[in-house]
Amino acid sequence: MDLSQIRISPFSSKDAIHNFRCGESDIDRWVSKAPKWSEQNKARLFLAHGQGNSKAMGFYSLSFSSEDRNKLAGKRDRQMWGSGVPLIYLQYLAVQRTCQNCGLGKMLLVDSLRRAHLVSKHVAFYGVGLRSLNDRTTALYSKYGFAVAPDEDKFPLMILPIWSINDLFEGRT
Ligand SMILES: CC(C)(COP(=O)(O)OP(=O)(O)OC[C@H]1O[C@@H](n2cnc3c(N)ncnc32)[C@H](O)[C@@H]1OP(=O)(O)O)[C@@H](O)C(=O)NCCC(=O)NCCS
């Protein structure tokens, strides 16, 4: 797959996600209802597609969430925040089965973080959160600096603070 030919655009048509299959039936079911989530303002979806072809090869979805401050790793951060810690929540990230293992998942993840970075210039929040599905996805997110929150077990909450995202896009790594 030539990733330079892939575009990532906001969800705009039901046809684009028709028959999307990533191998996780919960995710496939969820994305089939994308028009509803968009209309209800519950999530914003962004689709990866080829140039001149709107069919989704992958997608991610973003919303806001609030977590307990005990989920923050650092003592100083826990002291700084009140009861609800605002996060941009990467609710789902998935790649069409036939397009997996070609780098598209990583491309979508970086794009979602770039979008969070942009939002942070306008609205303040602590960082990006997500729930990891399995050990391989935990390894993938860890590579980008996400850390598993304290006292998490199955589908662990992972958090990447905004300063790490700034470092990623402002060349301070
Ligand atoms: C996880 C997923 C988004 C990765 O996308 P991808 O385009 O296949 O992955 P990429 O080629 O960009 O990157 C590969 C990395 O993703 C991870 N990965 C690849 N396939 C995976 C799979 N089936 N399940 C979990 N992680 C996977 C690996 O950590 C891999 O890193 P490595 O190359 O160092 O081993 C994709 O496999 C998928 O949609 N899986 C089903 C849905 C899902 O699990 N979503 C994540 C919810 S937390």
pLDDT score at 89: 98
Mutate to test the pocket of ligand 1, among 106, 140, 143, 158 (most ligand atoms within 8 A of CB): 140
Give the tens place of pLDDT for each residue, 78-130.
988 887 999 999 999 999 999 999 999 999 999 999 999 999 999 999 999 99
* CA 160 centroid distance within chain: 11
Q: How far is CA 33 from CA 24, 41, 42, 104, in A?
A: 15, 13, 11, 22
Of all residues in the chain, what percent carry a pLDDT higher than 90? Answer: 89
pLDDT in tens, 52-63: 898 999 999 999
pLDDT (0 to 100) of residue 83? 79
Residue that has been written with the tokens 């009140």 in this structure: 82
pLDDT exceeds cutoff 80 at 29: yes
Of the candidates 115, 9, 126, the residue with the CA atom closest to the CA atom of residue 62: 115
Please give the average per-residue pLDDT across 1-14, as a whole number: 94
CB 78 within 8 A of CB 69: yes
Q: What is the pLDDT of residue 52?
A: 87
Mean pLDDT confidence for 5-9: 96
Question: Counting beta carbons within 10 angstroms of the beta carbon of residue 4, is it exposed (0 to 12), middle (13 to 18) or buried (19 or more)?
Answer: exposed
pLDDT at 172: 61
Crossing angle (nearest 10°) for helices 104-120 and 135-143: 50
| Full set of structural domains in the chain with CATH | 3-169 (3.40.630.30)
Query: Separation of 94 CA from ligand 1 center, angstroms?
Result: 8
Mean pLDDT along residues 39-51? 96
- Answer yes or no: is the C-beta of 143 below 6 A from any ligand 1 atom: no
91 lines ligand 1 (CB under 6 A): no
How many secondary structure helices (H) and strands (E) does the chain include? 6, 7
Q: What is the mean pLDDT of residues 24-35?
A: 95
Taking 80 as the threshold, does the pLDDT of residue 139 lie above it? Answer: yes
